[in-house]
């Protein structure tokens, strides 16, 4: 079932045809159905006003409607000193607004200004339609929005809760003065997995983020990680359909191979992106760094020869103090990353399974001081890494292991040396 949340009325005369299709399961022929635009209204009216907000039950009633005047006052007239970010959507400014619940209190917010292009307008609507409905501790809270017209056109803004510790990418940069500790990185991995699991599995409709990356994972004052930037997100395929076929949107360095090659989008595309992110946490490097030597520019290609235990230390972020506990923990996290990076999307785990595995790596500080090596989650020992075995079930693998008909060295995550099966994950 496709979930529709229309927050703004759209004129039928402005309808735009999208090149978006959803494929059904078929053993003989492939049947395609034109898919609705899901969270993006099919014909964004560029002159939409806040007065056109629908009164339907789907309307997010707890979102505040701001005026441009209020946002100018909040951000010191969008001064350069208030600017805290820049992206494809537009500029982001730090501001302060009055609390509606407590009139004498002020709330710090981040105000995102959408550019006047059609894509910016579509992303603005999508953010409202998603974050106005879904609520979770690991998703950035949308406080409100603004849409006003003047002689220069329509001005579009989104107002979020302010995240003082910026993005995870900021703290993984070599120029960062506050690199994340290993315990914090594991907590970030857990928080991000929890947010994705909620979007994929915990609602009566599925949301595919489509642009999961370290710069879109923000940190609050308690260093809790929250997913942000839902501008290109999509509702998952309807019941009985295998995937959505759509034009590419997102960041190529994080994109799953099937999504890049043929535009097949599923929740497993986010799982692949999460696997790339785990290697960012381990290495402190971005997925693509062109300033490095040729053999080190692409993160997944660089880590591949170092996945055996003897060389693994060479890829761990030098900003971390490496001991036995951290090395074993990082190696286990890379095993989970490899599981997410399987070439066959059907063989990749669900995010709820990933969350369970990552959570098992998190130990309390008193346990960490004993340097007891964290165990590789049992789930990884039951799943084949062979992309050709995507339909093999946990029970089938366990039964073959018990009968001795399965090669134990290739039936689980490699522990001592990268195998040919593992190499296939990165092709």
SS3 of 96, please? strand
Residues with Cβ within 8 Å of 62's Cβ and at least 6 positions away in sequence, in order, are none
Question: Could you give the CA distance from residue 198 to residue 201 in angstroms, rounded to a whole number?
Answer: 6
Q: What angle do CA 391, 261, 254 make, to 5 degrees?
A: 85
- Using alpha carbons, list the distances in angstroms from residue 420 to 230, 242, 300, 387: 36, 29, 15, 11
Whats the size of the chain, residue-wise? Answer: 427
Residues with Cβ within 8 Å of 415's Cβ and at least 6 positions away in sequence, in order, are 309, 376
- Using alpha carbons, list the distances in angstroms from residue 33 to 194, 244, 263, 266, 301: 32, 10, 15, 16, 37
Binning the chain into helix, strand and coil, the percentages to the nearest 5 are 35, 15, 45
Q: Residue 360 annotated as binding?
A: no
SS3 of 202, please? coil
Reading the block at residue 171, the tokens are 């703290």
- Using alpha carbons, list the distances in angstroms from residue 357 to 186, 293, 353: 11, 34, 6
Question: Could you give the CA distance from residue 285 to residue 300 in angstroms, rounded to a whole number?
Answer: 10
Q: Which of 211, 270, 317, 328 is labelled catalytic? A: 211
Reading the block at residue 359, the tokens are 């959570």
DSSP string, 313-356: GGGS-TTS---HHHHHHHHHHHHHHHHHT-SSGGGSPPHHHHHH
| Start-to-end CA span in the chain (Å) | 34
The answer to whether 283 touches 292, Cβ cutoff 8 Å, is no
Burial class (CB in 10 A: 0-12, 13-18, 19+), 48: buried
Strand locations in 41-167, DSSP E? Answer: 64-65, 83-86, 91-98, 106-114, 142-150, 153-161
Active site residue 211: yes
Residues with catalytic roles = 211
Q: Binding site membership for ATP: which residues? A: 112
Q: Binding site membership: which residues? A: 112
């Amino acid at each position: 079932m496709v979930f529709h949340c229309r927050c703004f009325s759209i004129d039928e005369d402005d309808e735009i045809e999208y090149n978006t299709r959803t494929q059904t399961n078929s053993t003989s022929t492939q049947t395609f159905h034109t898919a609705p635009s899901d969270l993006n209204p099919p014909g964004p009216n560029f002159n939409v006003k806040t007065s056109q907000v629908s009164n339907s039950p789907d309307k997010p009633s707890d979102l505040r409607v701001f005026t441009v005047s209020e946002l100018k006052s909040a951000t010191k007239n969008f001064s350069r000193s208030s600017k805290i970010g820049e992206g494809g959507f537009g500029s982001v400014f730090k501001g302060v607004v009055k609390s509606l619940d407590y009139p004498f209190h002020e709330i710090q917010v981040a105000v995102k200004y959408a550019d006047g292009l059609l894509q910016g307008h579509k992303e603005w609507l999508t953010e409202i339609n998603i974050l106005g409905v879904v609520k979770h501790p690991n998703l950035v809270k949308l406080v409100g929005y603004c849409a006003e017209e003047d002689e220069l056109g329509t001005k579009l803004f989104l107002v979020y809760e302010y995240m003082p510790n910026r993005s995870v990418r900021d703290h993984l940069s070599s120029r960062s003065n506050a690199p994340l500790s290993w315990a914090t990185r594991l907590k970030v991995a857990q928080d991000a997995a929890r947010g994705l699991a909620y979007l994929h599995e915990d609602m009566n409709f599925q949301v595919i983020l489509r642009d999961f990356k370290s710069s879109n994972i923000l940190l609050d004052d308690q260093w809790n990680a929250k997913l942000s930037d839902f501008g290109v997100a999509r509702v998952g395929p309807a019941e009985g359909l295998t995937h959505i076929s759509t034009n590419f949107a997102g960041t190529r360095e994080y994109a799953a191979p099937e999504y890049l090659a043929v535009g097949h989008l599923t929740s497993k595309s986010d799982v692949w992106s999460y696997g790339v992110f785990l290697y960012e946490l381990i290495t402190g490097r971005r997925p693509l760094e062109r300033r490095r030597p040729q053999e080190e520019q692409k993160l997944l290609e660089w880590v591949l020869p170092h996945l055996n235990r003897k060389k693994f230390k060479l890829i761990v972020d030098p900003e971390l103090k490496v001991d036995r506990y951290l090395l074993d923990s990082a190696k286990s996290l890379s095993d989970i990353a490899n599981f997410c990076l399987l070439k066959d999307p059907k063989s990749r785990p669900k995010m709820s399974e990933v969350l369970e595995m990552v959570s098992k790596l998190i130990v309390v500080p008193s346990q960490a001081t004993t340097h007891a090596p964290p165990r590789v989650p049992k789930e990884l020992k039951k799943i084949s890494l062979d992309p050709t075995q995507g339909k093999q079930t946990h029970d089938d693998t366990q039964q073959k292991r018990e009968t001795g008909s399965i090669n134990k060295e290739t039936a689980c995550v490699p522990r001592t040396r990268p195998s040919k099966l593992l190499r296939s994950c990165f092709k």
